[in-house]
Structure 1
Amino acid sequence: MTLWVLSSAEKSKIVVMTIKDRMKQPLSIAELHIKDSYKGPRPHKIRLLTGKNEEFIPPQQFIELLRSANRIMLTEGGNPANEVAFLEMLKAFQLSADRVKICKHCWLNKRFNFVNSKSIKYHDELICEDCAKEELLRSIRSADTPYGEKSVDFLEKVLHKTRDLDRTIRMLSPERLDPEFTRYDTIRTKPYESTVRVNNLPLAKKFKELLLQKSETLLPVQALSVEAGLLEGKNQFVVSATATGKTLIGEMAGIQNLLDKKGKMLYLVPLVALANQKYDQFTERYSKLGIITSIKIGAILIKTSQRVKMHTSPNADIIVGTYEGVDHMLRSGNADFLGKIGTVVIDEVHMLEDQERGHRLDGLIGRLRYAAPEAQFIYLSATVAKPEAYAKKLGAQLILYDHRPVPLDRHLLFCQDDEKSKLISQLAKEEYSMLSSKKHRGQTIVFTNSRRNCHKLAGALSIQASPYHAGLSQYERKKVETMFAKGELPVIVTTAALAAGVDFPASQVIFESLAMGIDWISVQEFLQMSGRAGRPDYHDRGIVVLMPVPGKSYSSSQSDTEEEVAIKLLQGEMLSAGVEYGEAEQLEEVLASVAVTSSVQDLRKIHSLMFGGFDLDKLVSRLQSYRFLEKKGNKVTPTLFGKIIAAHFLPVSKAFLIRDAVLAENSPIKIVTNLEFFDAAYFKYSNQIGSSLHVNMPSRVFQGAALDIVFDGDSLSQLDQKIRALMLNFASDFLTCTCRDSPYCGCAEQKFSENILRLRMEGLDPTQIIKILEGKYGISAYQGDVFGYLDGAVRNLDAVELIARVHSKKGVSEEAKKLKKKVQG
């Protein structure tokens, strides 16, 4: 048995702990009072503090205890006079004491623990880790916010890492920003000296000179690609972080193949916004080489004065397009219009795993590989869970570079919703005040979960900020892109939906929300979005800030809270969702592929190149029974009906709806508004309505609870006169059907959508349409959404016209044609 005696000198007494076998809980605690005698300081009274009854120990027994101890210790920082008396008393009995540092919090709680330089700092002193954890838990419990288990674990890890309790507790009070204690980790870059010089590349002289204007050497991933045979025509799948230079890999192959007369370059992206940006970049960069760039984005454009004029002919050297834009040409049987293809670059190829659009990208890749077998295919992605499997299926060599071009600091900042605008403003101002070594100001992208929040948050910041999302018009988006690219705009607030989109040169990315709509973002999406922070040609480092609200969730079905999701995202590994889709999507892809070949054998070849699993015989038989295609021996051809369905990207169910409506001779405007509602409408005064009625009023017009409130006469009577008049206009124009399920029968949405088309037919552009909706109904919408709806209506009217013609419904066909022209403008 090891026995220690620990003493601490207070003003009028010495507190003594007896410690057995180094245990933190003492065997006993006593108060020692020393008296001066003619022989010097001697023990006078020794009162036991442990036990139920007050008990005194005889002085001689106490001395025996001291003599039997393996070690006598005296804490530092006690009362000086009493310390001297205690040490002199020990000396008289030929004893001595070691000076030790102990945890004062343990001592106050009648426990024992040493502290040293590695202990936890707290209020200008050192305490043990156990006490620090207790204090941290006490602070967490006393906070107004419920912190989940994972958050507590994370904060304990921060404590262990920083050895500073004050700084850890300050994470619960984010108004005092300190990057040293909010930093979760740093993703470091790998130093790399490129040995591949642009001058030594086998490129055309004028192209080489253009590249040398930017750099004399290639970036690491570019060097790896060239060394692996990029300029020898090898197909490649390049996986590398955002801003590592992937795009130039595709450009080097495409431009050189073009100059070598091997054929034009297709550069395919998932979003119209990204296609627009690439079109501008390529037009500016390569027109100097006499190269013409055009764009294919799939939509039949609505004519307005705000539309940006672009070259759209397929007779160009570079065709930049969305996946659907180029696939439309293949599905329409116009593959030959593309001409000779030398290079196909497919950006953001991980979109194959997208639940809604993945099957179309899969089909497009298969059809292009079949239609352009001699072309060089370059696939690009920043985030893929199983790159080796992807590369094998795509028939491409994997080029994997998993280092960032600049270091990335990732910060975790717990806060409340009402604190966010102030904190974001502070972070954005600090970043914008910084100049990198490349003389660029720091700019910030803020991701939020909805378009409405983009506008709300941008307006709430005390630094210049602009909203940016797909609901804006092309003209509005272009204006924001230009200002940001020039460094004139400190902040853009955007949605997670544009994470794979426009290449903004931001140094800082802030996650105001970790959701997309009401669903948590995935690890893959998070990595894609956070990868936007820090560009090597602009910045020295990137910053990512997550701002989770402890205890928050976006729907009752979510078990995790936002701060727990934040930690999962920071720690998480990507999971592959796989490229799988159902029979309806498989039918669409088989029918689309019949547009590029009439051979069953070639059809099998196309679908063997795809990720999806196809029972081709069964699917062809099903399409035959639907009369979408005809099969004679080894030959398949689409029927006229089938051609229309394939070219218009119509799912089988929608095709039958149109056919049945045409045969019933329904009016085309009714057909298209029943096919697709305009539901991106918002009550402008939803907050005021909610306050007046003491309810949570949804801002979206066609959300059940919102229609309930407008449908209820008693509710309307409680509203402000102006708002009541707007709501009554809405109810009288759109909520007058006699359906049993009214207002949830769909009639309101159909009538509202028809109203938008009729306003367009009167010659109004989307801006004017929105103005009328606001003035008459108090309903607002985004220009981009109105543009998108009108574009979709034109496509559907085109399908109605053609299907009506096939089924000899001349009146419906002519009416659809006239309506289409009026909507186009």
Structure 2
Amino acid sequence: MKINEMPIPNHLREAYAKNGIEELYPPQAECVNAGLFNRKNILAAIPTASGKTLIAEMAMQKEVAEGGKCLYIVPLKALASEKYEDFSGKSVKVGIATGDPDQRDEYLGRYDIIVATSEKTDSLIRNKAGWLKSISLLVVDEIHLIGDESRGGTLEMVIAQLRFQNPDMQIIGLSATMGNPESLAKWLDAALITSEWRPVDLREGVYYDGAIHFHGTERLLETPKKDDDLNLLLDTVNEGGQCLVFVSSRRSAEAYAKRAAVTLKKTSPTLDELSKRIGKADTTASGKNLALAVKSGAAFHHAGLPREARAAVEEGFRNGDILCISSTPTLAAGLNLPARRVIIRDYQRYERGAGMNPIPVLEYRQMAGRAGRPRLDPYGEAVLIAKQQRDVDRLFEEFIDAPAEDITSQCQRENELRSHLLALITSGFAQTDGEVRGFMEKSFYASQKSVHRRLDKNIEKTLAYLEKSGMVEREGDEIHGTLFGALTSRLYLDPESAMMIKDGLAGKKFTAFGMLHLLCMTPDMFRFYLKASDEKFVDKILKERSEELLLDDLSEEFFAAIKTALVAEEWISEIGEDSICERFGVGAGDIHAVVENLRWLMHAAGRICHEFAADCDDEMRDLELRVTHGVKEELLPLIALKGIGRVRARRIFDRGITSPEKLMAAEKDEVVSILGATIAKNVLEQAGRRSAKKREQELEESEDEHEEEDLPTEKKPQATLFDFGG
């Protein structure tokens, strides 16, 4: 089936032709035959690299040409940025939504295609963004994540609410791996397209004792190194390919990259430049290790790295300069980084309370699917490494030949129901018990099996919790959200988080550390894992600073929250990232994640504080700014000036320039020497405007005071001529 036969705009057809795309792959053609361009719902459960994005883009461009508006949902912010770049520059207006969770972002309505994460879309629904009602085509990428424990419930409710709001909307679901696609297709009223076809042949095998064992054949490798994972890497590189190596932990990823760098010893000016970029982006020990490895053509990739460092690694790999990346499985979840060979070295993972367990088959498939670069590799290889001879057959049975697991709804989980039922009520989707039940009966959860009795019980229990918490109230048969409930939903908080914040602020003395610890205890905040080496200093903090804490729990989460809050406290005390990373055993990316998460929670806590504990307003506002910028309280007046970050603010303050007024009074040459000419000019203009505004306010206040002094009062009647006579 030829591209020039498709009913798509000419500019898109021309863009494809420039990239050498002239004919559809077989799975793409099946989608067209199933009604892709006739507004039929489609679920495409087809392998990685078989052209799922192109299916969606053709449908979206046609929809836009006919006056429609499209929403493309992805699971990760990084993937949202990637898809935004893919869809831009093709004669349609593309927007991206990954920002603050309590904003309507009405400006997004002017775009033809909006790329958003599922969480951001959920928050837009809760905040009643008007443009969502005009969505005529919904694309859900990685739709199998509807079964994911951490985000599946949100994705399911987003799809359900958009279908309820826009009943004529076309839906396209894209997935690479799924055990029960028929169940999901039935729920979506979608034509199911499944296929094993790939543009690059995928060979799956198990390596043991110098050979890769495939079904019915084996391939012998040279073994110049004692380590199997390095021999597999060298074999690929010697053939002109690149490798992705999946391991179980960050420490393992970093260790492998170091060994690979020593083995590869590649040099080039491009690698030197990438190394310098990474060194500037991440000054921690981990960042230095990465920069050193990249200099020799190897890299590691995990969530502990700052975004700039991860982006540099991805760029170097796509361009062919970096020959291998060792990574935790997060890299397999959507980022487009295919390689000649994928090595799945670690196929077991530690789970707290359960020890080491095999990874899911679905996860293995995601990793294996990265093997083979279209138009670059003659084939792709996914290789597991066996430690013993008897493991070879077992690995074939457990991973290569095993079906992917079925996906199941996560909406039966109590914490998911709390948040989503509150959103249904406060957003106006359901206003009675019957409407709540009616909506949930249309969920994927209800469609999977006969669960109505259990669903009714869970709904009843959840509504009782929301009512007891003061988030909803009843008037006869109707259920309404209260001010507290509506605020909680708009702020995109778990109701339990909102209750913890409200109760924690009630009648307690506010301290910065106590507030940080409280927020780190909420279900909405991730906490650092508490290692054995952390226990001594955490116990010390508990003994010395227990009076600052707003909660008294002593659970495992409580102590983990102390560690996380200490990281945040050092950040707002202007301790350097490298020192924080070394002391707490975390990465620079982890610090940034804590700050980003706490910024949102501080903002939400500030809104709750304003409603229920207004006497803490000023302290909350100051702490939010300190978390945002990573500064001590004394720098807040300076940090308010755009262009001055934590480093410049400290530099200025230490020179005795402690406020915008003192900045205006300082010698201009001194300010320029500290900030540079361009930034100094901008900052001085801001400081001047602020100083003028402050003088104006002081003058108005002074005039008001004089007017009050002149006003007559009952206690002091107006003087008359008789009061002055004698």
Aligned to 1:280: 85
Structure 1 contact 348–380 (Cα < 8 Å) conserved:
yes
1:800 is aligned to 2:605: yes
Q: Report deviation, 1:661.
A: 0.3
Aligned to 1:714: none
Match 2:482 to one of 635, 639, 660:
639
Match 2:233 to one of 388, 404, 428:
428
**Alpha-carbon separation, structure 1, partners of 2:109 and 2:615:** 34
Deviations 1:780-807 (A, max 9, x none): 4212211111111112112211222222
Match 1:624 to one of 454, 467, 478:
467
1:660 is aligned to 2:464: no
Aligned to 1:119: none
Aligned to 1:368: 162
Q: Report deviation, 1:391.
A: 0.3
Deviations 1:148-183 (A, max 9, x none): xxxxxxxxxxxxxxxxxxxxxxxxxxxxxxxxxxxx
Q: 1:583 is matched by which residue type in structure 2? A: E
Alignment of 1:263-342 (within 5 A): 263=69, 265-283=70-88, 287-296=89-98, 313=108, 315-331=110-126, 333-338=127-132, 340-342=134-136
Deviations 1:662-711 (A, max 9, x none): 21335263234233269876xxxxxxxxxxxxxxxxxx7x22x3246x57
Structure 2 contact 208–392 (Cα < 8 Å) conserved:
no
Q: Report deviation, 1:746.
A: 6.7
Change (3 A) 1:603 1:254: farther
Q: Secondary structure at the match of 1:445?
A: strand
Change (3 A) 1:742 1:634: closer
Aligned to 1:233: 39
Q: Report deviation, 1:752.
A: 4.1
Alignment of 1:535-550 (within 5 A): 535-550=373-388
Structure 1 contact 237–379 (Cα < 8 Å) conserved:
yes
**Alpha-carbon separation, structure 1, partners of 2:48 and 2:424:** 33
Match 2:142 to one of 343, 348, 352:
348
Structure 2 contact 8–61 (Cα < 8 Å) conserved:
no
Change (3 A) 1:300 1:502: farther
Q: Report deviation, 1:474.
A: 1.4
Q: Report deviation, 1:650.
A: 3.0
Q: TM (normalized to structure 2)?
A: 0.70
Aligned to 1:139: none
Q: Secondary structure at the match of 1:278?
A: helix
Q: Report deviation, 1:639.
A: 1.8
Please list every run of 5 or more consecutive structure 1 residues that lacks an aligned counterpart in the other structure: 1-195, 302-310, 435-440, 552-559, 682-699, 712-729
**Radius of gyration: which is bigger?**
1
Change (3 A) 1:747 1:209: closer
Q: 2:419 is matched by which residue type in structure 1? A: E
Please list every run of 5 or more consecutive structure 2 residues that lacks an aligned counterpart in the other structure: 211-222, 265-296, 351-355, 447-454, 630-726
Structure 1 contact 797–820 (Cα < 8 Å) conserved:
yes
**Alpha-carbon separation, structure 2, partners of 1:604 and 1:550:** 54
**Alpha-carbon separation, structure 1, partners of 2:67 and 2:464:** 42
Q: 2:35 is matched by which residue type in structure 1? A: G
Aligned to 1:818: 622
Aligned to 1:583: 414
**Alpha-carbon separation, structure 1, partners of 2:392 and 2:150:** 26
Aligned to 1:261: 67
1:508 is aligned to 2:341: yes
Q: Secondary structure at the match of 2:576?
A: helix
Q: Secondary structure at the match of 1:458?
A: helix
Aligned to 1:378: 172
**Alpha-carbon separation, structure 2, partners of 1:313 and 1:666:** 42
Q: 1:509 is matched by which residue type in structure 2? A: V
**Alpha-carbon separation, structure 2, partners of 1:647 and 1:474:** 28
Aligned to 1:476: 309
Structure 2 contact 342–368 (Cα < 8 Å) conserved:
yes
Match 2:359 to one of 511, 521, 524:
521
Change (3 A) 1:772 1:321: same
Aligned residues: 555
Q: Report deviation, 1:449.
A: 0.5
Q: Secondary structure at the match of 1:676?
A: helix
Aligned to 1:244: 50
Q: Secondary structure at the match of 1:251?
A: helix
Q: 2:418 is matched by which residue type in structure 1? A: L
Q: Report deviation, 1:469.
A: 1.4
Alignment root-mean-square deviation, CA = 3.4
Alignment of 1:39-118 (within 5 A): none
Q: Report deviation, 1:510.
A: 0.2
**Alpha-carbon separation, structure 1, partners of 2:380 and 2:59:** 29
1:674 is aligned to 2:501: no
Q: Report deviation, 1:759.
A: 3.8
Change (3 A) 1:344 1:446: same
1:770 is aligned to 2:603: no
Structure 1 contact 414–563 (Cα < 8 Å) conserved:
no
Q: 1:243 is matched by which residue type in structure 2? A: A
Aligned to 2:679: none
Structure 1 contact 238–379 (Cα < 8 Å) conserved:
yes
**Alpha-carbon separation, structure 1, partners of 2:392 and 2:595:** 37
Q: 1:822 is matched by which residue type in structure 2? A: R
Name whichever of 753-762 and 401-410 sits farther off: 753-762
Structure 1 contact 300–795 (Cα < 8 Å) conserved:
no
Match 1:452 to one of 251, 257, 270:
251
Q: Secondary structure at the match of 1:612?
A: helix
**Alpha-carbon separation, structure 2, partners of 1:524 and 1:489:** 27
Aligned to 1:786: 591
Aligned to 1:756: 567
**Alpha-carbon separation, structure 2, partners of 1:235 and 1:296:** 26
**Alpha-carbon separation, structure 2, partners of 1:422 and 1:298:** 46
Higher strand share: 1
Structure 1 contact 597–603 (Cα < 8 Å) conserved:
no
Q: Secondary structure at the match of 2:303?
A: coil
**Alpha-carbon separation, structure 2, partners of 1:321 and 1:736:** 45
Change (3 A) 1:476 1:198: same
Q: Report deviation, 1:501.
A: 2.3
Q: Secondary structure at the match of 2:444?
A: coil
Q: Report deviation, 1:231.
A: 0.8
Alignment of 1:143-158 (within 5 A): none
Aligned to 2:692: none
Change (3 A) 1:637 1:210: farther
Q: Report deviation, 1:742.
A: 12
Change (3 A) 1:359 1:790: same
Q: Report deviation, 1:289.
A: 1.2
Name whichever of 662-671 and 370-379 sits farther off: 662-671
1:406 is aligned to 2:200: yes
1:201 is aligned to 2:32: no
Deviations 1:296-335 (A, max 9, x none): 256799xxxxxxxxx995643322222112212112x233
Change (3 A) 1:642 1:548: farther
Aligned to 1:179: none
Higher helix share: 2
Change (3 A) 1:516 1:248: farther
1:359 is aligned to 2:153: yes
Q: 1:275 is matched by which residue type in structure 2? A: A
Change (3 A) 1:778 1:707: closer
Aligned to 1:493: 326
**Alpha-carbon separation, structure 1, partners of 2:584 and 2:468:** 45
Q: Report deviation, 1:255.
A: 1.8
Q: TM (normalized to structure 1)?
A: 0.62
Change (3 A) 1:419 1:410: farther
**Alpha-carbon separation, structure 2, partners of 1:490 and 1:312:** 42
Deviations 1:711-768 (A, max 9, x none): 7xxxxxxxxxxxxxxxxxx9866775689x9998777655543443344335x5xxx6
Deviations 1:637-679 (A, max 9, x none): 3222112322344333333211210213352632342332698
Deviations 1:346-393 (A, max 9, x none): 111111111222111111111121233332211111111111111001
